[in-house]
Amino acid sequence: MTDPAYFLYHSIGQYPGKAQDMADALADFSTVWATPNDAQWQVVLEQRLEFLTLWRDLIDAPDGTLTSAENVTTALYSIIGGLPPGKLRGKRVLIAADCFPSLHFLLNGLADRMEFTLHTVPIRDGEFWVRDDDMLDAWGTDVGLALLTFVTSTSSHRCDLGRLIAHGKDMGSLIGLDLTQGIGIIPFSLLDYPADFVISTSLKWLCGTPGAGIIQMQEDLIHQATPELRGWFSQENPFSWDLNAFDYAPDARRFDHGTPSVLACLGSIPALRWHARQTDLLTQNRDLTGMIMTAADDAGLTLATPRPEAQRGGSVMVQLPGSIDAKALVDHLREQHIHVDCRGRILRLSPGAVTTKDQVADLFSALGAHI
């Protein structure tokens, strides 16, 4: 069988041996969880701690400032619902129109109840991403929170985090950062980009499983946070069931709530271990994305991604001609074992560890029959 040409790292990442690694990890969980003894929680919580440690090391997070979350949407809800009273009331929450839509849906639904104004900075007509300058122009001292997108999912635009965070500090705003589309391929460290909090998933370039997201927050803000989404795991001792003695854990565990999704964390550990051993993922990606951009130019396609490397993530997006049926094109490529996707007329191409130069050539050869 032909090796699949895989260009979907903006969705689900793959690496050599992933299927067996995951099968082994999930089989180990099954053995532990199905053994009729009282050791289950001790074992799986220790394994969850490895997941958190791998994430902590990945982004240089201080001890005690990171915990797991089901996804970036629940992560953001936990954070927003835990901010000190008055942090957002009567202020603006700033976000770019090319954010991950789920986060915008959440903020839009919370605005009235929490008495903030959601300000969405638009994409200029004829362009594909929100300009950093437009974010800065909209960002005044009345912005209580700015939620930044490290790399966008529809253009692979990488914002200038240093510039944006510095401005936000001057404005006295809280700064949140969605790492989802960039982490795992674009280097990131909280030592360089000290946002007040970050949220992410272990999917995409990290090659993990759904349900294995994270919340990370600066220590001084953690101590002020009282999440309204709380439960037995929000405590220092989750097994304390005294109804009159609830108190938040002194660290990021206060953002836990009910029973954690340990299975998703355990299923992602092999991928995070694999990723931590890699040294040349970005180099390989830059070689392949360079080929894609050249081939797109040769095919007369419009790039929907910035050309400078410092301004883009690991994906290349191109705009298909209006005459092309995008769904039919994706289906046709799938029949040839070439896996891509579209958002409207935007064809998204994300080459990673299992993608080869020959497969890039095969992709554009197949595209040539339609464009």
Q: Which fold has domain 5-16+279-368?
A: Aspartate Aminotransferase, domain 1 (3.90.1150)
Q: What is the pLDDT of residue 1?
A: 47
Encode pLDDT of 248-295 as tens digits.
Answer: 999 999 999 999 999 999 999 999 999 999 999 999 999 999 999 999
Q: What is the pLDDT of residue 354?
A: 98
DSSP conformation letters of 79-101: HHTTSPTTSSTTSEEEEETTS-H
Q: What is the pLDDT of residue 370?
A: 80
Integer angstrom CA distances of residue 227 from 219, 230, 257: 15, 6, 9
Q: Which fold has domain 21-276?
A: Aspartate Aminotransferase; domain 2 (3.40.640)
Determine contact, residues 55/214, Cβ cutoff 8 Å: yes
Domain ranges (residues) in the chain = 5-16+279-368, 21-276
Determine contact, residues 220/250, Cβ cutoff 8 Å: no
What is the pTM for the complete model shown? 0.96
Half-sphere exposure in the Cβ direction for 100 (13 Å, CA): 23
Q: Which residues of the chain have pLDDT under 70?
A: 1-2
Q: What is the pLDDT of residue 213?
A: 98
